[in-house]
Chains A and B, each alone.
Chain A
Amino acid sequence: MSILYLLIPLGLLLLGLAVAAFFWAVGSGQFDDLDSPAMRVVLDDDRRPPPDSEAP
């Protein structure tokens, strides 16, 4: 069982890397808006493009 003395610290190291990666993701705004990308699919953007030429 003495292999655990190696494996557990190794596991913790990997976990540390994962946590660091998560910290980076949060810092770069990946988790800022989890709702509106899902909502955007459903919402209509009914604004028509402005007319190129004006009516007389």
Chain B
Amino acid sequence: AEAPLSELLERIAALGFRPQPTVYGERSLGAREHYRQALKRLLVAAAAGMQVMMFAVALYAGAFSGIERDMEQFFRAVSLLVATPVVFYSARPFFAGALRGLRTGRPGMDVPVALAIGIAYTASLLATLSGSGEVYFDSVVMFVLFLSVARFLEMRSRHRAESHVAALASLLPDDVVRIRAGVRERCDIDALAGGDCIAVAPGDVVAADGIVVDGELELDEAVLSGESQPVRRGTGAAVIAGAQNRAGHATVRVTATGAGTRLAEIGRLIESAQADRPPVVVLADRIAMHFVAGLLLLAAGVGLFWWFADPARALPIVLATLVVTCPCALALATPAALASAATRLAERGLLLIRARLLSVLTPGTVIVFDKTGTLTRGQPTVTQVDVVDARETTTTALALAAAIEDGSEHVLARAFADVPAAAAHAVSARQTVAGAGVAATIDGVRYRIGRADFVAELTGLPGEPPDDEQTLVYLGRDGGLVAVFTIGDALRADAAEALTALTGAGFEVAIASGDRPGVVAKAAAALGVEHWHGGLTPEAKVGFVRSLRADGRRVVMVGDGINDAPVLAAADGSVAMDAGTALARASADAIVPGKRLLTLAELAAIAAATRRIVRQNLAWALGYNLAAIPLAASGWLAPWMAAIGMSASSLIVVVNALRLRRYRSAAGTAAAPALAEAAT
């Protein structure tokens, strides 16, 4: 049986959520509207707050040293005028939340808040109209403002978690060249259907999953494999959406588009991993419910008691109780510390996107590293030169190779790009053979560089089988072989140091890579890592992370490249080393644009400091609340004192959090750059 969508939406709304049907790729619109509204409400509360405070000063001064009746009425009237939009517009979410909570039988923090605001405003309104009694407009507005700020910060961090779908959609081009009946036409990517043929040119991003019908492509499939080496796809080979075409033309018959592509599948993996709510949050919600019920009972009890004891004081005392028990400082305790930590981290070269990362980096957590692009530079470099011809040296061999490969689009040619003095050779008759190498003439001598068999055709020597563990580039000339270059992906300079620092801080380090096991073993040995896995597909990596979590371990994933995105989302926390892949950016909890691994050690230290400060803040906030309740209930606190006390305690919490801005860890020695310098 199928249920109509409207019925589903109604049920969801009745539970207290706001359902929003969206189109794939457009999730962010609803969030944006929500954000804008919240911003407007916040501003109204802030602007009104400033005015009301001013008027309140006048009224308090008047209460001490005398004020004319008319003037007093005037100030009360303008306070009412300014406070009204705050109560009916800025505080709307609290009232709505309170009603929802009462309707569904699960009262949340909104109920006492709404009660306090409502009671205070009504009492002040009546007092103003009747010209007698106390007004509490300043307390009301301050109250609303503070809570709105806390909620706003909370909402912002939640929304950042939902922006990845937009990033995914932005990878693909907006339009493609479709071939219909031999005619090439530009069409929208959404108009593509299965069976259509599209043309892919050098520099294009493949728009849909498909099969090559005619031609050959050299694709950078970082989308799937995260590898820096491009793959050749000839006739009959499958290609995936999101792959970048480095060289070659081809016609591709589309097999899957839009939501059906591999890329979209990866996006869904991310979504399901992110929807995983930690049990701590669920528990906190349940506790909050009981806390609220207790709070309301307390306020009612206090009100009842004073109604009989001294009715005139009943209202201010109940107000003071409600205001004082509102856990403002408690609500700010964590966000304030996290905000400071994020600023400090940004100064040290790490962009913190989601704060959950800080609470996950506890000693004993497993930090899983991807290899390519994370522990290694992600760029091919010449790691070894074996000179065969005795007449040449390493330097001259490199110079020859660089001269021949100069200007070549091939990825492996980049390894020679840094070689100096390549201009010394005059190269002529350069000819590139796709997939084999480059042939050229230097000073009248014919040279060939590339695969063993390609070079062997010139030198006459037998070709060697390709080595599974390393990439070898041969350089030969008419007389014979000149040199063999080993092209590898060099480890980052600070990799070893960073890993040692992390293990020293109590973390366990592991490597999970899609690269060939032989290569991964070498890297692990060089870094002193015991637990490593090679040859993993993205799904296998996710499985590895999940199995660790099933064992009860906490996992933090450090990677880059789009194929790591589902793994990043499946872990308890994640860091993306590469700022360039939009999807990794969107699904990671933090980015290190400078790709400096030592920053991770600093991150761990700052995370520990943040946890400490949060604990201090929570202890203070709780202590304050507990101490203030008896004071308020017994009539010692006037509502304005309660409001000031609430603000002061929040201020203390924030100032304590600011200490994080000056945090200096042992790992953060002079070498750490600011973000601006780290863009290398």
User: B633 in the interface, Cβ–Cβ < 8 Å?
Assistant: no
For the complex, what is the distance from the CA of A44 to the CA of B580, rounded to whole Å? 7
Kindly provide the distance from the CB of B561 to the nearest chain A CB, expressed in whole angstroms: 13
Question: Are the CB atoms of A50 and B36 closer together than 8 Å?
Answer: no
Report Cα–Cα, A31/B33, bound state, in Å.
Answer: 12
CA distance A1 to B409 in the complex (A): 80
- Asked whether any CB of chain A lies closer than 8 Å to the CB of B39, the reply is yes
Chain B residues closer than 8 Å to A1, beta-carbon distance? 71
- Known contacts A5-B74, A43-B580, A51-B409: does B203 contact A56 (CB below 8 Å)? no
B82 at interface (Cβ–Cβ under 8 A)? yes
CB distance A45 to B40 under 8 Å? Answer: no
Mask, B577-602, CB within 8 Å of A = 1, is 00110000000000001000000000
Q: Does A12 contact B78, Cβ atoms closer than 8 Å?
A: yes
**Cross-chain contact B202 with A42 (CB below 8 angstroms):** no
Chain B, Cβ-Cβ closest to A18: B47
Residue B432 lies at the interface, judged by CB distance under 8 Å to chain A: yes
Q: Report B34-54 residues with CB < 8 Å from chain A CB.
A: 35-36, 39-40, 43-44, 47, 51
Contact of B81 with A by CB under 8 A: yes
Cβ of B249 and Cβ of A56 under 8 Å apart?
no
Query: A51: shortest Cβ distance to chain B, in Å?
Result: 6
- Report how many A-B pairs have Cβ atoms within 8 Å: 70
What's the least CB distance linking A22 to chain B, in Å? 5
Interface residues of A in 3-56 (CB under 8 A from B): 4-5, 8-9, 11-12, 15, 18-19, 22-23, 26-27, 31-32, 39, 41-46, 49-51, 54-56
Across-interface contacts of B315 in A (CB, < 8 A): none
User: Which A residues are in CB contact (< 8 Å) with B71?
Assistant: 1, 4
B579 CB contacts on chain A under 8 angstroms = 42-44
Is B396 located at the chain interface by the 8 A CB criterion?
no
Contacts of B47 in A (CB 8 A): 15, 18-19
Complex alpha-carbon distance, A18 and B36, angstroms: 17
List residues of chain B with CB within 8 A of the CB of A15.
47, 51
Q: Which residues of B contact A27 (CB under 8 A)?
A: 36
The main secondary structure of chain B at its interface with chain A is mixed
Residues of chain A contacted by B78 (CB below 8 angstroms): 8-9, 12
Kindly list chain B residues whose C-beta atoms are within 8 Å of the C-beta of A50: 201-204
Proximity bits, B203-224, A CB within 8 Å = 1, else 0:
1100000000000000000000
- B675 contacts A by Cβ under 8 Å: yes
User: Which listed residue, A8, A23, A43, touches B593 by the CB 8 Å rule?
Assistant: A43
Residue of B nearest to A31 (CB): B39
Query: Of A8, A22, A51, A56, which is in contact with the most chain B CB atoms at under 10 Å from its CB?
Result: A8
Given A31-B39, A32-B32, A49-B203: A42 in contact with B678 (beta carbons within 8 A): yes
Residues in A neighbouring B655, C-beta threshold 8 A: none
Chain A's nearest CB lies how many Å from the CB of B386? 28
Q: Which of chain B's residues 582-629 have a Cβ closer than 8 Å to chain A?
A: 593
Q: Are the C-beta atoms of B202 and A54 separated by less than 8 Å?
A: yes
B168 interface contact, C-beta 8 A:
no
| Distance to closest chain B CB from A37 (angstroms) | 14
CA distance A34 to B74 in the complex (A): 40
Asked if residues B35 and A32 are in contact (CB atoms below 8 Å), the reply is: yes
Interface check B434, CB cutoff 8 A: yes
Q: Are A12 and B51 within 8 A (Cβ)?
A: yes
Give 15 A-B pairs besides A4-B74, A15-B51, A41-B676 with Cβ atoms closer than 8 angstroms: A5-B74, A18-B47, A19-B47, A32-B32, A32-B35, A32-B36, A41-B679, A42-B579, A44-B679, A50-B201, A50-B203, A50-B204, A51-B247, A54-B247, A56-B431
* Residue ranges of A at the interface with B (Cβ–Cβ < 8 Å): 1, 4-5, 8-9, 11-12, 15, 18-19, 22-23, 26-27, 31-32, 39, 41-46, 49-51, 54-56
- What are 19 A-B pairs with beta-carbon distances under 8 A? A1-B71, A4-B74, A5-B74, A9-B78, A12-B78, A18-B47, A19-B43, A23-B40, A26-B36, A39-B351, A39-B593, A42-B579, A42-B679, A44-B579, A45-B580, A49-B203, A50-B202, A50-B203, A54-B248
